[in-house]
Structure 1
């Protein structure tokens, strides 16, 4: 039976200074936090003293850092500002390791392109980041949602084995009209982090829209069943970008916990 997985809350949803956001996450019953390395805490802002202070606060509140979110404007398949983007990613990976998490998640680029030069560049850059992760102890983790599971798996096959973990986001897959079940089947062994987002198809818009957990079309019970088959023991991060109130956020945390009852 799948163990009760730990719920991670993104600090950005609180709109508070770092320490107050961490305390709020604990008060609402989270077991872990997700840090945005562009908004909540930037790598260049974190001293060794800062690391010790944050880790002490987390220990006192019995919280872990589940993952770092590090979104870039462009993917790793685009030459514009690529060197700076790669270096910033490496700094985020270093920060993740210092804070006790092996995962820095981002969308990696356009996997549906017919541009062979861009595709080769993507593989080259990601291979470099895999090697850097092996040295550092924290890895770039590919967030799903903007390509099919088969397309992402095809990319993973071209990289060093085990070097590109997956942050599985079923809601974003559904919203962008990709099959959640097919992606789970293809990516299951590579999933190292889960982002719980729900959605429904909006036929008038030709795409999906995000909705609160449990009100959409994602079958979270089926998702957990598949994860159990792969012995998943990671975190479940809340994926909704904004919450209307603290009550809505608290309800989302409780919804996830109730999946085991």
Structure 2
């Protein structure tokens, strides 16, 4: 049996009951920590006074939990559109400031599908935005963590290598790689070993090949029938997210890879679909705890 030293987290929003009730449920299911959405909902930085931030921090501590990360995904194809990046960069910095104030050091985000052409305008816009965010995060001993999935691990590593700093790193989601790019999530750990600062514990299966832009969207790109593609992805024509341990992620090999690279951060459970997410999360916690023995 693999001895996994990682703490187990849960994305509070996966319970679909609001933040306060979600925190209680995270405690009930046996999680060590939580990830909370801060780009929308109750945790948007503009909505939280200094006093409110301290109240939330104290409440989370009182439950015996800690914040593994905040979700800072601002949507709109990430940082592909240079016209909106000034505002998005400012909001991202505010979310990171909030994370640090609450005792966390990671904000996870999507930056958009990294183009294959490094000379494209979209690539340049994404790179400039991430370079600024990386320097800012590094100055605070913190991280913006890009979620894996829209591109292969090798493509993402090449993009990150060009930033010059590691303030922008990786939130590793093995299921996204399985479901969308068809990339090997075990080998991807070794490829991105220098950048992984947080992970999502999720599982899935790939049913047919698709262009990642069909799933995540991309500036200036529209599928031939966008609505039908979106419906197909939701209904499981392209991929299907499944309970932990029931998909194509090779968990023993994946967790061993994390041990091999010395990763000791969170395995944060994410459940985006299903009619009974709480039951699935309970099973996921139990599944991950088996590897601690």
The residue that corresponds to 2:286 in the other structure is 254
CA contact (8 A) 1:96 1:138 kept: no
The residue that corresponds to 1:83 in the other structure is 86
CA contact (8 A) 2:138 2:166 kept: no
SS in 2 for 1:247: helix
How far 1:40 moved relative to its partner?
4.5
Size of the aligned set, in residue pairs, is: 261
Choose which of 67, 70, 87 in structure 2 pairs with 1:65: 67
- The answer to whether 1:99 aligns with 2:131 is no
TM-score relative to the length of structure 2: 0.83
- Structure 2 stretches lacking a partner, 5+ long: 210-235
- Structure 1 stretches lacking a partner, 5+ long: none
CA contact (8 A) 1:102 1:137 kept: yes
Choose which of 28, 38, 44 in structure 2 pairs with 1:42: 44
CA contact (8 A) 1:12 1:40 kept: no
The residue that corresponds to 2:201 in the other structure is 196
CA contact (8 A) 1:66 1:235 kept: yes
How far 1:20 moved relative to its partner?
2.2
How far 1:3 moved relative to its partner?
4.6
> In the aligned structure 2, how far is the partner of 1:121 from the partner of 1:135?
22
Superposed CA RMSD = 1.9
| Superposition pairs of residues 1-261 of structure 1, within 5 angstroms | 2-37=3-38, 38-73=40-75, 74-114=77-117, 116-176=120-180, 177-203=182-208, 207-245=238-276, 246-261=278-293
- Deviations along 1:182-207, one digit per CA (max 9) or x if unpaired, are 32221022111111111112149773
